[in-house]
Amino acid sequence: MPKPEPYVVAVDIGSSKVAVLIGKRDANGAVEVAGKGSAPHRGTRRGNIVSVEATVEALKAASEEAEVMAGMEISRAYVGVAGPDIRSVNVRGMVTVSRKDREITEADIGRALDAARSAALPSDREIVQALPQEFVVDEQPGINDPKGMLGSRLEVNVHLVTGQTTRGKTLTTCVNRAGIEVIEMVFEPFAAGKAVLTDDEQDLGVLLLDIGSGSTGFALFADGAIQHSAVLPIGAGHFTNDLAMVLRTPFPDAEKIKVREGCCLGGMVEDEEGITVPAVAGGAARVVPRHEICEILQARANELLSLVRDDLLKGGWDGSLRGGVVLTGGGARLDGLLELAGQVFGSSARYGLPQRITGLLDVINCPSWSTAAGLLLYGFEREANPRVRVRRPGVMRGVLERVRGVFTDIL
């Protein structure tokens, strides 16, 4: 087995910023952040890259900052991918065990995974990531690593994430032009889950919402594996835009109002509170009741959470979230959103912060760095073991069986 790289680099190209992390193993074997960089990004719109030049420049700036801090040059990276074109489906691959003694080998596992990845796709779509859920040996389910077991037939259930071919090519072009080779593209909600979810939550059944500026990715985990996922073209920037449009105030001022005074749950706001709202084109500022601002934000929050819930139900979700809801991403911190999510999904809810990682915690210990931190953790897993093993399914097998084989959307 090749010696693992001493450093791993994570690149998260978001709608409002580009984030880069450089990680290494510390003396105890834990993943430690050695360098971080970020830069404002204006090269995307609604989750899609619209300016290669702007994206490349932002990535170069973020990379240089991380390189200076870590004292090394970046050459290769794990790159996050998300966008409203993302679709997912649960598929199954099956092969006959090749050896006469019926012992399952790494080659058999590879052939089963290849069989699952061979699902027919339209010509304009490609596989972003194939995420194993569980292996089945001679109809015995719930196996996390079948290597060395005896059997005649090997099956694997896989969560297949697909995207438009042009998105992948454009993203690769941007990263390459910044002087970085793409090792692997990783679905961002899956990566964020690596950083913010516990094993117990993933076993019991947990919904992760990764709220970015231009889009929101979400993933349902159960039995220790991702079961359903999608990306919606609604993000934190849409909340800001709603305020700017309704209040007729410049976008930067609307963003400040959202961050400092915003709330999306009416019961948390006093009726007599007033907020000073600047006008466009130098007009006179006016005072707006805070509950009116809350109504604007709550309407958008209800829309977002309802769309997530409806997509889950369409995909076969039974309405149970024993592990609760976890909100992460730069848009997760809006006051009232956590409580509203708990109401909509009828479960507990918490913020997701990067875990299982050390170094620079005073900087990256916030939801906006969850995806980059998860990419770092995933990268170290891949460097140590190219075929990352799935954990043994637990008490949520009923959910898995109901969800398996159901398209998130028609490919």
Q: Tokens 């906006």 belong to which residue?
A: 368
pLDDT digits (tens, 9 = 90+) for 232-291: 999 999 999 999 999 999 999 999 999 999 999 988 988 778 999 999 988 899 999 999
Burial of residue 370, with CB atoms counted within 10 A of its CB: 0-12 exposed, 13-18 middle, 19 or more buried: buried
Confidence of residue 392 (pLDDT cuts 50, 70, 90): very low
Residue 291 lies in a domain: no
Average pLDDT over residues 93-113: 95
> d(Cα 300, Cα 142) in Å, to the nearest integer?
40
Residue 97 lies in a domain: yes
> d(Cα 251, Cα 265) in Å, to the nearest integer?
22
Residue 350: which residues within 8 A CB-CB, separation 6 or more? 324, 325, 326, 327, 338
233 vs 409, more confident = 233
Residue 28 lies in a domain: no
8 Å CB contact between 324 and 349: yes
Residue 126 scores a pLDDT above 50: yes
What's the total number of domains in the chain? 1
Residue 335 lies in a domain: no
- Domain residues for 149? 88-160
Confidence of residue 394 (pLDDT cuts 50, 70, 90): very low
Residue 403 scores a pLDDT above 80: no
> d(Cα 411, Cα 128) in Å, to the nearest integer?
13
Within 10 Å of residue 351's Cβ, how many Cβ atoms? Answer: 15
Residue 317 lies in a domain: no
Residue 185 scores a pLDDT above 60: yes
pLDDT digits (tens, 9 = 90+) for 136-171: 999 999 999 999 999 999 999 999 999 999 999 999
Q: Provide the pLDDT for residue 6.
A: 86
Within 10 Å of residue 251's Cβ, how many Cβ atoms? Answer: 14
Average pLDDT over residues 130-137: 96
282 vs 84, more confident = 84
Q: Provide the pLDDT for residue 397.
A: 40
Give me the CATH number covering residue 139. Answer: 3.30.1490.110
Give the mean pLDDT of the chain: 91
Q: Provide the pLDDT for residue 362.
A: 85
Residue 71 scores a pLDDT above 60: yes
Residue 293 lies in a domain: no
Residue 128 lies in a domain: yes
Residue 138 lies in a domain: yes
Residue 401 scores a pLDDT above 50: no
* pTM of structure: 0.90
